[in-house]
């Protein structure tokens, strides 16, 4: 284990050079990881970065399904995740065997399956196309008009996309355990304390919260929205890591965390499993590595490529 602080950061950067690695980090990662990453972004931006990189090793600081997506589009590269237990409640809410059984049972519906990227390789392999919160509206609008859509696994994102597009879809009953913690009361309270500050919420929030928001968007679009807005303060209704990215890009503006009924801000325990120490050790040992059986990987790649093509 390396010493913490500047030495540790230098050792990580040195290992990164030696390994010819790229460090990709999600907007919810801890501040120290965001600061040394080569790219920080949302699931869509990270998917493009993963698909385009010429590095030999991808050190993915995010959760398992994100690193798995990077591996699916890069079978020849080594993809490492600092903590293999960094899962996702949304991904867990839709196991591939349950989805497969559901599709068999309802074969008469001939579903066109749209899967939010927060799902396993097994679920991706059963899907027609993948979407992220950044392109879900576009992907649903491009779906064949004569097919029934089954949207998995996030019922809140799915409901928001239905509101935006007017397209009817059947929704898998999954949810993000972090975003459902924001309530109408908790957001109304913080809004009363900061009158005039726009409320910016992630579409994984419930309807009761989304209708209070001035803007509902992906984490990356939160950056563009806040940059373009003349407002000086914003209430950010998503995971707390987002605040680092916003404050770094716009130090002159104020970002107020959206509270839940229990906490002043919301942390995703999975996103927070990655630490600088674990990133260091992952680059040193090239472990834990994401490994996917080739037949599964190849099936999961098709709907991801379709998404990347459709959302260009």
Eight-state DSSP code of residue 239: B
Other beta carbons less than 10 A from residue 305's beta carbon: 14
Scan residues 129-158 and list those touching ligand SF4 (CB under 6 A): none
Cβ-in-10-Å burial (0-12, 13-18, 19+) of 271 comes to: buried
User: From ligand 13P, ligand SF4, none, which one binds at residue 218 (CB under 5 to 8 Å depending on kind)?
Assistant: ligand 13P
CA angle 177, 193, 27 (to 5 degrees): 40
Verify binding: residue 218, ligand 13P, rule CB under 6 A: yes
Distance of closest approach, residue 46 Cβ to ligand 13P, in angstroms: 8
Rounded CA-CA distance 111/104 in Å is: 10
Find residue 234's DSSP bridge partners: 255
Stretch that binds ligand SF4, among 13-21, 135-143, 173-181, 188-196 (CB under 6 A): 173-181
User: From ligand SF4, ligand 13P, none, which one binds at residue 219 (CB under 5 to 8 Å depending on kind)?
Assistant: ligand 13P
Q: Which of residues 23, 27, 69, 255 is near ligand 13P by CB under 6 A?
A: 27
- Maximum Cα–Cα distance across the chain: 60
Rounded CA-CA distance 234/170 in Å is: 33
Rounded CA-CA distance 3/7 in Å is: 6
Verify binding: residue 119, ligand 13P, rule CB under 6 A: no
Verify binding: residue 118, ligand SF4, rule CB under 6 A: yes
Q: Which of residues 69, 74, 132, 275 is near ligand 13P by CB under 6 A?
A: 132
Q: How far separated are the first and last CA of the chain, in Å rounded?
A: 42
Verify binding: residue 204, ligand 13P, rule CB under 6 A: yes
What's the token pair of residue 93? 């809410």
Stretch that binds ligand SF4, among 3-11, 255-263, 265-273, 284-292 (CB under 6 A): 265-273
Distance of closest approach, residue 192 Cβ to ligand SF4, in angstroms: 26
Verify binding: residue 246, ligand SF4, rule CB under 6 A: no
Residue 122: which residues within 8 A CB-CB, separation 6 or more? 95, 96, 97, 296, 300
CB 241 within 8 A of CB 32: no
Q: Which of residues 27, 34, 89, 206 is near ligand SF4 by CB under 6 A?
A: 89
Q: Which of residues 177, 198, 247, 254 is near ligand SF4 by CB under 6 A?
A: 177
Q: Which of residues 29, 53, 74, 118 is near ligand 13P by CB under 6 A?
A: 118
User: From ligand SF4, ligand 13P, none, which one binds at residue 27 (CB under 5 to 8 Å depending on kind)?
Assistant: ligand 13P
User: From ligand 13P, ligand SF4, none, which one binds at residue 89 (CB under 5 to 8 Å depending on kind)?
Assistant: ligand SF4
Cβ-in-10-Å burial (0-12, 13-18, 19+) of 136 comes to: buried
Q: Which residues bind ligand SF4 (CB under 6 A)?
A: 63, 88-90, 118, 176-178, 204, 239, 268, 270-271
């Amino acid at each position: 284990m390396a010493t913490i602080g500047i030495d540790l950061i230098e050792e990580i950067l040195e290992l990164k050079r030696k390994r010819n690695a790229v460090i990709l980090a999600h907007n919810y990662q801890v501040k120290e990881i965001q600061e040394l990453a080569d790219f920080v972004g949302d699931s869509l931006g990270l998917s493009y970065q993963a698909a385009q990189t010429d590095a030999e090793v991808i050190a993915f600081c995010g959760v398992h399904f994100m690193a798995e997506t990077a591996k699916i589009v890069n079978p020849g590269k080594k993809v490492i995740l600092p903590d293999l237990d960094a899962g996702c409640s949304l991904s867990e809410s839709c196991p591939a065997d349950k989805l497969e059984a559901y599709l068999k049972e309802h074969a008469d519906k001939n579903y066109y399956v749209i899967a939010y990227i927060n799902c396993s390789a097994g679920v991706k392999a059963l899907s027609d196309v993948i979407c992220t919160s950044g392109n879900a509206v576009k992907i649903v609008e491009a779906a064949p008009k004569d097919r029934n859509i089954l949207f998995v696994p996030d019922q809140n994102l799915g409901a928001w996309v239905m509101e935006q597009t007017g397209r009817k879809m059947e929704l898998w009953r999954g949810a993000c355990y972090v975003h459902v913690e924001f309530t109408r009361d908790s957001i109304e309270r913080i809004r009363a304390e900061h009158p005039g500050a726009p409320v910016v919420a992630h579409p994984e929030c419930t309807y009761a919260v989304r209708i209070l928001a001035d803007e509902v968007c992906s984490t990356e679009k939160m950056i563009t929205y806040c940059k373009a807005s003349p407002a000086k303060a914003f209430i950010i209704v998503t995971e707390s890591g987002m605040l680092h990215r916003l404050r770094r890009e716009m130090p002159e503006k104020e970002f107020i965390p959206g509270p839940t009924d229990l906490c002043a801000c919301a942390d995703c325990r999975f996103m927070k499993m990655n630490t600088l120490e674990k990133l260091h050790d992952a680059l040193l040992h090239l472990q834990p590595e994401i490994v996917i059986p080739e037949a599964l990987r190849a099936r999961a790649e098709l709907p991801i490529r379709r998404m990347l093509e459709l959302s260009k």
